[in-house]
Amino acid sequence: MKKYNLEVITPIKFAPVVADEIVAAINDVIEEKGICNLVLAGGKTPAGIYRLLSKPPRISQVDWSKVRLFWSDDRYVPKDDVASNYKLVRETLLDDIIIPAENVIAFDTSFATSQESANEYHNRIKNILKITSVQDLSFDITLLGIGGDGHTASIFPNSMVLKENVKIACASISPVAPIDRVTLSPKAIFNSRNIYFIVKGENKAKILDSILKGDGSFDEIPARLYESATGKVTWFIDSEAAKLIQK
């Protein structure tokens, strides 16, 4: 069974504690290798954390010129669409930090199809990181959320994406709107050196308990793929989401 760190935090302290952990982790990587490849989670949970990163005192604690930002996934909508994960990050982080444009590596959702977008992201990541395949890819820090159905990023239960072994990024179909999505593939995500799951709220308690108990298959609960992670996995959860976890 994959070992993981579990940090249970009170709701009020959740965003500041996780924001500080992310700052420390980014700076450790920058000290080690000069640049940090950070994958941002989608959804709403991380918004409060991104806001804290973009404000004093934390905004001055990271040299963002030494951070490349990637997205775990996005909805296949225009970048100014209210559902866009890019838009959420722009409004909560990018608008306030000083980061070179070339370090902001988001899905391009202007292609006619999500498949074209995923293929382009696959190629762009290969070129930027100077790698030839997903096997060579290992993001330094990947932030992830989980959905009530056990999805993570835009890897949904029983999705074809679960079978993807070659691509870095894929088109995906969500059971809830917006249905058209683009996502990093399981290998691209779970080869990361550090994975931080960020889970908050009582509505995640049941699925979180199932994931950590190992209920269901990887197809049924894609977030269980953390068990295949090659790097370190840390679950940052608030005490509401932790309610059902076996003590």
**Judged by CB, which is closer to ligand 6PG: 63, or 240?**
240
84 sits near ligand 6PG (criterion: CB under 6 A): no
Cα–Cα distance measured from residue 193 to residue 176, given in angstroms and rounded to the nearest whole number: 30
Contact range with ligand 6PG by CB under 6 A, out of 28-36, 39-47, 92-100, 230-238: 39-47
85 sits near ligand 6PG (criterion: CB under 6 A): yes
151 sits near ligand 6PG (criterion: CB under 6 A): yes
Q: What minimum distance in Å lies between the beta carbon of 151 and ligand 6PG?
A: 6
Q: What minimum distance in Å lies between the beta carbon of 81 and ligand 6PG?
A: 12
**Judged by CB, which is closer to ligand 6PG: 22, or 146?**
146
Q: What minimum distance in Å lies between the beta carbon of 155 and ligand 6PG?
A: 8
Sign of CA dihedral 177, 179, 183, 187: positive
> What is the per-residue binding string for ligand 6PG in 46-65, x denoting contact by CB under 6 A?
--------------------
Count of chain residues binding ligand 6PG (CB under 6 A): 15
Q: What minimum distance in Å lies between the beta carbon of 24 and ligand 6PG?
A: 22
**Judged by CB, which is closer to ligand 6PG: 66, or 73?**
73
User: Which residue among 53, 64, 104, 147 contacts ligand 6PG (CB under 6 A)?
Assistant: 147
Contacts with 127 (C-beta within 8 Å, 6 or more apart), sequence order:
none
**Judged by CB, which is closer to ligand 6PG: 42, or 66?**
42
Hey, what are 141's tokens?
């820090």
Contact range with ligand 6PG by CB under 6 A, out of 41-49, 91-99, 163-171, 224-232: 41-49
Positions touching ligand 6PG (CB under 6 A) are 41-45, 72-73, 85, 145-147, 151-154
